Each structure stands twice: as C-alpha cells, then as structure tokens.
Structure 1
C-alpha cells in the first residue's frame, strides 16, 4: 500500500485563460479502485498525464508508482493483433490469452489485423494486456467506449476481480458503481474525494447543490429587501434636506422647522443608507461565491432539413463481409421522421453497414440498399482523430455555419478559451464535441450517428436526448446505451452475427 499525494498542483495549457488546476490538494491510495469523474474538459485525462510525468506543472506530486495507461498508443493498426500487443507489452502469449478468455475473447483474434477488430474487441484486447503487467498501477481512461451491454458487464466483472487498485475514468454511472470504491470529482471550482462509488458521490453532490441553491434563493430575497430599504432611506434623506432649506419653487416657502434637528436626522439616515449599501455589496459578493459547482446546460440547435422524400432508406437481404458474411441478412426501411437504432453485439458489423451506406466499404456485398440520389447525410464517426487545426479553419473546410458551430460547442460545455486551442490538442471529450457540433451544424436530411455518446458526460447525453425529441430528425443510430435508445428511437433493428 502506498500513497499518491498532490500538493498545490497548478496546471494550464497555453492559450487558456484559466488553469485546469489551481493550488489543488488531495490524497489517493494505490489500493483504492478509484472512479475519476467530471465534465468533459475539466482535466481528467490531463490529471492522468500529470501523474505519469508527461506534462510540466507547478506544485508537487509525491508517488512511488509505475503507471500503465489505457488506451495504449498503437503505431500501426494494420498489423496482426499479436504483433501490435508485442510492441506495447512484454507479456507472454499465454498470459495475454488467459486475460482475453476472462473478457470473453477468442484467442484467434490475435491473428487478425488489429484494424479489423470491432471497437469493443480492441478495447478488451488492450485491457487484457494492461493487466498482464505486475507491479504497475493502471490508469484506465474511458474503458466502456465502443462496448455493447454484454461487453460492459464482462469488463465490469473483470475489474471487480482485480486485487490491485486502479483509477478509472468513465461517464457510465452504472459501470462506476460496479467497479469503484472511492470517487475523485473534478468540479467547476474544486476537487473533492469521497469514500464510496458514483452513487455515493451523486447523493453528496445533490445535497451540496441543494444547499447552495437554498442559500442563493435566501440571499436574493435579502438583497432585494436591502435594495428597497436603501432606496427608501436615501429618498427620505433627500426629501428632509429639502424641508430644511425650503422649496424655492413654492412662493413664500421658508424653513419653519428645527433645521438643525432635520439636518442631523437626515445625515444619520444617509449614513445608515450608505451602511446598507455597503452591506448589500458584501452580500452580492458572497452570492457570487455560491453556485460555483452547479452545472448549467443550454439547449442545442440542429440544421435538420426534412426531405421531400418519404422513404430515405430501403435495405433488403443485405450481407457484408470479407471471406465470410459478418451478419445474417438484414432488412429494414427508414422513413421521414423515423429514428432507427441498429443494435447488436460488438463485431457483428454495425459500423460496416454504415460504411456501405456511405459507399466506404471495400468487402463483399450481397443484397441491396436503395436511397434517394444526392441525399444529404450528416455523419458522426467513431474515429475522428483526423479533425485538426483551429476551429475557424476547420469550420471553413467543412462548410459549417461558424456561429452555429461555436454556439453548439459552447452549449456542449466547451470553455470559450479552448476555442483558441488546436483541435488535435483537445481532450477526447472535446474532440467528440467538435465532431458532434460539426454534424449538428451541417444541413442534412439524414443524420447517421455511430456511438454518439462515447466520451460524453451525463449532462451532454441529456442535451442530445432533448434535442432529438424536440427536432424529430430522421436518424440512423448505433449506440449501446439502452436508456438513450429507449428515449429517442422509434424503431430498433437487431443485427445478428452470421453462422460461419
């Protein structure tokens, strides 16, 4: 057992107005199964990089760990999976196969090109090799991305049985509740640690938010009363000064009262009024300190253009593959205003269907796909690391409405100071937001979104649900989050693996 102690940690990227971390202090234990949570762009992946010594910072990080990071960097995905793993690990093949079996993977995947594995299969293979190493502390960044429901359960069971501690970053609340016993939350103005899983953190967070909101409501009422009292006393004081000297506009006006008494009383009232004004300023200043950790979420916009065609897609007896078909014959229709969710296990060929719809598939094709000519499609990809450059240049090359693009990025939670950061230097969550904002800003008759929730936090997921239900666009969705599918899909089609 050893400690990881962070003292006065300050770090920010060049070009950002505010640092990600400012004088942060917290203590971790290497035996904890720690869930690292927080909105996209708050610095979760950056913190993992800081622990590994990859970035310069101010303050101290005291630890005696050797870290291993997931997902590992792959130099050449066209290589056989066995060769890819040999480059990133010193483990024996039997050790890797042992871990793969625990994750429900067949050993013959090692002899397929890594690029032909599904996203879920790639995730499991890289997790398997991560836990073959001994004496290291795993840093696991978004392991549930690309995993179907069964795959998430397998990975959760796999992590539950691990005796060693780790840090896991995930936006899947159910997953975190299954695998973690401590939580570190990066919030808007502080970093807080909790003994317990995400559910424990959520309860404490709700209590904290409710307290802040109650204090804010009370303070608003107090400030309102103070403003009214201050205005009334200032008005009275000014009117008494008029009584003291008489009103020159009235004929025969003159001071008939004890002007000394009136003047002294008016002075006292004015002084009291100034004290009230000063108190009000103090109260307003205190108010600004509240609500610092309550998240604000604004509605998104979408450039959906309903098609004059009633039927946008007709898929009949479709089978795709290489040497053998990937899935059993597929049939469906997609009509104007419908949202079809294409579901199935990892490796069944869901993304391959999308590639064929976009005429990007080079394997064997059986069956037919009918769609209107020049159908305007907006596509959210699983892999979007080729998005590069500054946002202004990116919007121009992609033909985007720049104002709409930036507005959606900001509403998705991207800080404005990140707008001046090259896309390739953004966090994975921010990269996903760029891809989503691009899709939302492209006028389209059909939106094809391949796993849109990967890397997005709970607030963003709810934003997308509300947008889809409000706009009612025509969509083809691939997603493993059952709650999301239940909320937005009008029909569900299951893709079943072929019996080869």
Structure 2
C-alpha cells in the first residue's frame, strides 16, 4: 500500500480565511486514520483535495486509488443493485454480496428499491459497494450518520477486521475508538497527527489545553505584576523630576541620576511586559472555546404535552409497529430508539400531522402546544443567514450569536447555507430550533454531523433547562446522559 505526501498545502474558499496554510503531512496507506476536527475546519475539503476535486496550492503526491463515501446514486428509484452497478459498471454482484455478509447484512436488500431503504441500510450498502472495489483506498465521510446502535456495532466490527487502510471522519467517540489506530486532527491553526485512537488523542489534547490554560494564568499574573511595578517606577521618576525642578536645595545630580535609573528600569519592564503580552496572545490559540447554549422554552399548564395511545404505523403496505403508547410531560426527555427502518422518523411525521400511509391508535398533542423541530433532512435550507432568519422569524443577531456559540467561524456567516459543510448546515437547523419559542422540542437525530464539543453543549443545556423533548438518537453516551425515559420501537 502506498503513502500520501502533502507539501505546503494551502487552501481557502473565496473571500474566506485559509482552511490550510502551508501544511506538511505524511500518511501511511496502511493506517486506519481518523480525520477529526470541529465542523467547518475542512475535513471533507481535505478529502475532496485528495480526490483532486478542489484547486489548491502546494503538492499532494500519492499513488493510492481513492474512493469516496458516500457515493452518488444516479437513480435512487431503481433496485439497489441496478443503482449501484449503474454508478459503477465494474462492480460485481458477488463482491457486494460478500461484503454485505461480512457486515452481517442480508444481501436481499440488493433487490429492494434504493430509495425505500432506511438511511442505515443505504449506508451499509454503499460501504459494501465501496470495499468491494479491489485495491481502492476508502475515504469515509461520516458513515455513522443514520446508523442505529446495532448498525454502528456491525460497521465497527466490519472495519476493525479489514486488513487495509482508510481515512474516516465521525463524531461517534466509541465507534472511533474501536476502528482507528491513528488520528489526524485539524485544530484551529495546525494539523496534529498522532498514533492511537480518539480517546488517546483527546487525553493528550486535554493535557495540552490544561498546560496552556495554566501558562495563560501565569502570564496574566506576570503582566499584572509588571504593569504595577512599571507604574510605580514611572511615578517615582515623575516625583523625582518634580522635586528637581522645584526644590532649590536638592541634590539635583543625585536625583537626576536616580530618575534616569528608574526610567531605564521602566523601559526594561515595558519590554518584558510587551513580551509577556505577546506570549499570552498565542498560548490559547489551540484551546477550544465552548460557550453554554440557551433555549427559548415557553411555559405550559398542560400535565401532558404529547400522548400516544396504542399507535400503529403501516408504510408501503408493511406494518412497522403497533400498540405503541407513551407520554411526554413537561421536563421529560423521552428518547425514541429502535433499529433503522423501524418507523421512528415516520412516527415524527405523523405527530407533526404530515402525510403517512396508515396510522392507527391515537396521537394527542395538547391544545395550543408549540413544537420546535430538528429534522434529519433539511435540503430546503438555502440563501444567506439573514434571509434564513427572516423566513423563520428569528432575530438575525441572536441567530449569529448562537452559531458562534456552536463554534461556527464569523468568516462563514457570508457563505450561502447550501454551500456550507454538512456540520455547519446542521448547526443552522439546530439554532433555528433553539431560538423558536416552544413548549415541546422534537429532534430527529440531532447529533448527526455535530462534533463532540457541540454534543457536550447539548447535554449540558438539556440537563440544566429540562425542556420537554422527544428525541431520536443512537449515540449511547448521549442517551445515558439526558434521557428521563426511553421508548424502543
């Protein structure tokens, strides 16, 4: 297997600060490399550069045959196998079936319409097709999105047993710990390449951050002390000069020499002060700033905001579930779990009054209850952030402030939403929900594309404010942290 050598890589989107600035990098093609970093730092962009799909300055040298996940599907309304083979005519059916079996997936899904497969089924099928290509070097961009817990275990086991290298992005910490053996992290002003998994990197990053914070505190104390000493010497020199001018009996030679000495010491302290201030400017540049989030929660007098009684759901003639009953009261955080394709997202559509094939039982939403939704799919987001705020009746300044808290750089505020990274688009969707006044929050896989810092922000917000929530999520750490009850379909 070959290597990847990057020399003086520089890249910036038009009108924005550089994502990469003269970066150097050497990657061994046998590594199972986790590509990490906060949203908008350029993870997907780096993959596109490796695929020669972005113009850049510098050199990228490699003989690896890169293959990108997720692959585009030209005709999602065709049978899955036909859709795959149309996109890649060299693909052999038996190869894809072999990879599906290694993933513990029934190859029968090849003969279902691609568009009718769940997001998790589509993910596993596209992964199987990618690894079925002999000699390819996979670039896997967020494969854990839309995978349920069982699906994540299946894919983790599958990748763990692969005797080949790849590059993968994901924000599922447990998944990465099982899969990768090296990490490449795009930090604020540098690339950090280390041996080990996510936990290894994060422990080292935490130590580096703590050292930087301690150094910053020491420099702050030094600056305060130097400023005080400098001011004292200046005051003494000024008093001495005043005495020299106004006291005819004073030893003016002695006073002048003493004043000059104090002024010299003051200038020395000024230089030391400037150096300490300069050192302080750079010491925290790689420490991630994480601000607490807020939510526009409205009070409710209803003891129950949402109630499902013996609800069943049938889609395309197939019954997904029946006899589902639960309630969401104020301050409840109900986690709705279940395998991909079990009907969780379809249930949310039914709750929101959107068309679903057949619903039995009773869904009661308390009278006058305002619902704020985070959707899995938000392809209708487009245009500027200002126009988005106006369409959704949100204050522009609050929208931008919340996005900054979520880690979005100000330079991205002028980028049209549909040209933002998937993580940035998810932050826009999440911000809309947080700023929309509501008594009930319904979130469909809110952690997709969000980095671990954002995930922790949401955990802390929910544990502090206790909004009434119904959430679909597969991240076990998040479920353990926030759920007051869990309902499994």
State the TM-score, normalized to the length of structure 2.
0.97
Per-residue CA distance 1:53-110 (angstroms, 9 max, x = gap): 1111111111112211011123343332222212223312222122112223222222
Q: Aligned ranges for residues 20-419 of structure 1 at < 5 Å?
A: 20-89=19-88, 90-246=90-246, 254-321=247-314, 322-419=316-413
Gap change, CA 1:375 and 1:83, over 3 Å in 2: farther
Give 1:41 deviation, angstroms: 0.8
Q: CA deviation at 1:374?
A: 4.7
Query: Conserved in 2, the CA contact under 8 Å of 1:15 and 1:421?
Result: no
Distance 1:87 1:422 in 2: 32
CA distance in 1, matches of 2:104, 2:427: 32
CA distance in 2, matches of 1:362, 1:220: 60
Question: Cα distance, 1:27 vs. partner?
Answer: 0.6
* Separation in 1, partners of 2:263, 2:413: 49
Kindly indicate whether the alpha-carbon contact (under 8 Å) linking 2:346 and 2:356 is maintained by their aligned counterparts in 1. Answer: no
Q: Which secondary structure state, in structure 1, belongs to the residue aligned with residue 321 of structure 2? A: coil
Cα offset for 1:111? Answer: 2.5
| Separation (CA, whole Å) in 2 of partners of 1:467 and 1:214 | 27
Matched, 1:440 2:434: yes
Contact 1:303/1:440 (8 A) holds in 2: yes
SS of the counterpart of 2:308?
strand
- Whole-angstrom CA distance in 2 between matches of 1:347 and 1:136: 30
**Contact 2:349-2:356 at 8 Å conserved across structures:** no
Q: Does 1:486 align with 2:485?
A: no
2:433 maps to 1:425: no
Q: Is the 8 A contact 1:352 1:361 kept in 2?
A: no
Asked if 2 retains the 8 angstrom alpha-carbon contact of 1:142 and 1:170, the reply is yes
In structure 2, C-alpha distance between the alignment counterparts of 1:374 and 1:69, rounded to whole Å:
47
Alignment partners' CA distance in 2, 1:74 and 1:171: 24
Give the match's secondary structure for 2:360: strand
What is the alpha-carbon distance in structure 2 between the residues aligned to residue 23 and residue 304 of structure 1?
A: 46
Aligned length: 487
Q: Deviations over 1:406-437 (max 9, x none)?
A: 11111000001100001111111111101101
Secondary structure at the residue paired with 1:326?
A: strand
Alpha-carbon deviations, 1:284-342, whole Å to 9, x = none?
Answer: 01111101111111111211112332222221111112312112421111222212111
Alpha-carbon distance in structure 2 between the residues aligned to 1:127 and 1:191? 27
SS in 1 for 2:159: helix
The CA RMSD over aligned residues, in Å, is: 1.4
CA deviations over 1:468-498 (Å, ceiling 9, x no partner): 1222211110001122112212111111xxx
CA contact (8 A) 1:306 1:473 kept: no
